[in-house]
A and B are shown apart, each in its own frame.
Chain A
Amino acid sequence: MNLDQFRQVSEVEWRVEPFGKMRVPAVIYADAALIREMDDKVYEQLTNVATLPGIVQAACAMPDAHWGYGFPIGGVAAFDADEGGVISAGGVGFDISCGVRTLHTGLKANEIAPLKARLADRLFARIPVGVGSTGQLRLNATEMDAMLRGGARWAVEHGYGSAADLDRIEEHGCMAGAEPSQVSDQAKRRQRDEIGTLGSGNHYLELQEIVEIYDTQAADRFKLLPGEVVVSIHCGSRGLGHQIGTEFLRQMVIAAPGYGIDLPDRELACAPIRSPLGQAYLGAMRAAINCALANRQVITHLTRQVFADVLPGSHLTLIYDVSHNTCKLEPHTVDGQSRRLYVHRKGATRAFGPGHPALPGDLRDIGQPVLIGGSMGTASYILIGTEEGRARAFSSACHGAGRAMSRHQATRLWHGPALVDELASRGILIRSPSLRGVAEEAPGAYKDVSAVVEAADRAGLARKVARLKPLVCIKG
């Protein structure tokens, strides 16, 4: 993008003052190099978001922003229902509550080195992954609704993990206000056998080694030690969330003119929060959040089973679970005034700073772990929420690297078998049902995640705590 379109506030904050129908400014948190690499669509989409009714303070983009659907991916926008604010299905995305969770293994990289291949094979065999894969659970109508109401809590009640896990999940593992009755039969049909499946595309399960600590105090509190191995799981609400996104986007496209909403882009379809359609979407979207939380909880259980088989006595504890495609009602202070806002985060991670009441007791004084995913061959990061991030972008940070090139470009540059061999030579074992899928997801097809994280850190959105390098990647 052309930097001349922005007013530079700092090295990592770039602003567009309102023009035309914009109600608030647009702000991008990134350095000049990252913004230059961004597609022009990010500017167009962010300034479009700033035109929506009831938007508060600013339409924000994170350092990993790229061309999305209506909202840019890496977009954050908050709406006030009292001021006619809207909720947007595109502002949440198709993969509702897609997110990352990371678990301690308590094991050192050199301890698992001789067992790495065995772990990779067993995890690949145990965790359903890729197109057409199914989980072991078959949910009837009653159980489906119970899962959609209960989230990870439902999973724990059914023997998948322990109550201790729930404290380390946003919303304590159960999103309130879920309305399974607002989830269509088609969405439930799509989910019938998909609980406990990883999916495909950029979703993965990785074993990672903690290789660098930037903040020893926060690392101590998160119990992160150099050389230790963690497990990270990246996936979302599977077919149920995709179907809800599809159906409500369509309904909102058709209904928007009736609500007097002038859509600059159909993908920006939305409905007033207080309208029947807005409320129906909220209930369904919250059910999809629970679906994602239950899904990651079941996958965690399967992972623990594999570790217990291969490394008897190992104990995997949850560091944290974050969702990066959501809309949540949160208290925020804007211009000294306390307000309850519907914060859309599309490809953006919530990053609560110290003292936030939503954090579990043992982390409340220091802030929330913010988990940033990598891309097979690159690093992942653990950050911590900051006080200043609250004012910057409603306590939000980036979510990953973001693609730098299309899937076709990637398959022209890389071939699956050669890429798997090359990564293996660097000590990274890949297991995937699709070699073409591996090529499309080549690490080189993504932006430099380190540059994204540096920008988030410098902008004060979240602070770096630790860097992780991949050892094993189970890829869909």
Chain B
Amino acid sequence: MSQTGEVDSGVAYWAHFPHQADMGVRGVGLTREAAFEQAALAMTAVVTDPTQVVPAMAVTIRCEAPDDELLLVDWLNALILEMAARHMLFSRFAVELDGHRLSATAWGEPVDPERHQPAVEIKGATYTELQMERDDAGRWLAQCVVDV
């Protein structure tokens, strides 16, 4: 199980960062949308290997928040709710942002304990180590700690 994953150009990627009891999730991309998508992938990787999750079913998610950071937490928490209530895992995300309003589609499949070997369920995304910012190279970084 790797701690990071890279896609396409190598510019967008996800990573985990350590937290004593829980887990930090980080998404990096050239756009805010890409960073949000990668952060969601990092969250799936807390539970299982995202490459083992078939993007067979689509779920629509919408949320709105007063700022970018709260929107990131809202986005991850909306996914956590869908994962829990539908007993699903997601591996593909398409995020659209309009200011601090998000509309997205997440693709995934029902949890298969045998195949996915899910390590832990996520209770919630938190405001700990929460960051949503752009670096000097123009890349967006979206991160926070998730409680497991």
Residues of A with Cβ closer than 8 Å to B?
39, 66-69, 73, 94-95, 130-134, 186, 189-190, 192, 199-201, 239, 242-243, 245-246, 249-250, 253-254, 266-267, 269, 402-409, 411, 433-437, 440, 476
Contact B21 A67 (CB under 8 A): yes
Residue B62 CB within 8 A of the other chain: no
Q: How many A-B contacts are there with CB distance less than 8 Å? A: 127
Residues of B with Cβ closer than 8 Å to A?
1, 3, 16, 18-23, 47, 66, 70, 73-74, 77, 80-81, 84-85, 87, 110-111, 113, 116-121, 123-128, 130, 147-148
With contacts A130-B121, A405-B20, A436-B119 known, what are 8 further pairs, Cβ within 8 A? A94-B123, A95-B123, A200-B118, A242-B124, A249-B124, A403-B20, A408-B3, A437-B117
Q: Could you say which residues of chain A place their CB within 8 Å of the CB of B120? A: 131, 200-201, 407, 434, 437, 440, 476
Q: Could you say which residues of chain A place their CB within 8 Å of the CB of B20? A: 39, 66-67, 403-406
The distance in angstroms between the C-alpha atoms of A92 and B82, with both chains bound, is 24
Contact B18 A408 (CB under 8 A): yes
Contact A131 B85 (CB under 8 A): no
The distance in angstroms between the C-alpha atoms of A131 and B108, with both chains bound, is 15
Q: A131-B113, A243-B81, A250-B70 are in contact. Are A266 and B127 (CB under 8 A)?
A: yes
Contact A411 B1 (CB under 8 A): yes
Contact B130 A201 (CB under 8 A): no
Contact A249 B127 (CB under 8 A): yes
Q: Could you say which residues of chain B place their CB within 8 Å of the CB of A245? A: 123-124
Q: Could you say which residues of chain B place their CB within 8 Å of the CB of A67? A: 19-21
Contact A433 B113 (CB under 8 A): yes
Q: How far is the CB of B133 from chain A (nearest CB, A)?
A: 16
**A-B residue pairs in contact (CB < 8 Å), sample of 6:** A95-B123, A131-B121, A269-B127, A405-B20, A434-B119, A437-B120
The distance in angstroms between the C-alpha atoms of A39 and B124, with both chains bound, is 22
Q: Could you say which residues of chain A place their CB within 8 Å of the CB of B121? A: 130-132, 199-201, 476
Q: How far is the CB of B1 from chain A (nearest CB, A)?
A: 7
Q: Could you say which residues of chain B place their CB within 8 Å of the CB of A267? A: 126-128
The 3 closest A-B pairs by CB, nearest first: A132-B111, A131-B118, A242-B123
Q: How far is the CB of A74 from chain B (nearest CB, A)?
A: 11
Q: How far is the CB of A110 from chain B (nearest CB, A)?
A: 34
The distance in angstroms between the C-alpha atoms of A406 and B87, with both chains bound, is 26
Q: A406-B18, A434-B113 are in contact. Are A134 and B118 (CB under 8 A)?
A: no
Q: Could you say which residues of chain A place their CB within 8 Å of the CB of B80? A: 242, 246
Q: B81: which of A186, A192, A411, A435 is its contact (CB, 8 Å)?
A: A186
Q: Could you say which residues of chain A place their CB within 8 Å of the CB of B70? A: 250, 253-254
Q: Could you say which residues of chain B place their CB within 8 Å of the CB of A254? A: 66, 70
Q: How far is the CB of A67 from chain B (nearest CB, A)?
A: 5
Q: B85: which of A189, A269, A411, A433 is its contact (CB, 8 Å)?
A: A189
Nearest CB to that of B111 among chain A residues?
Answer: A132
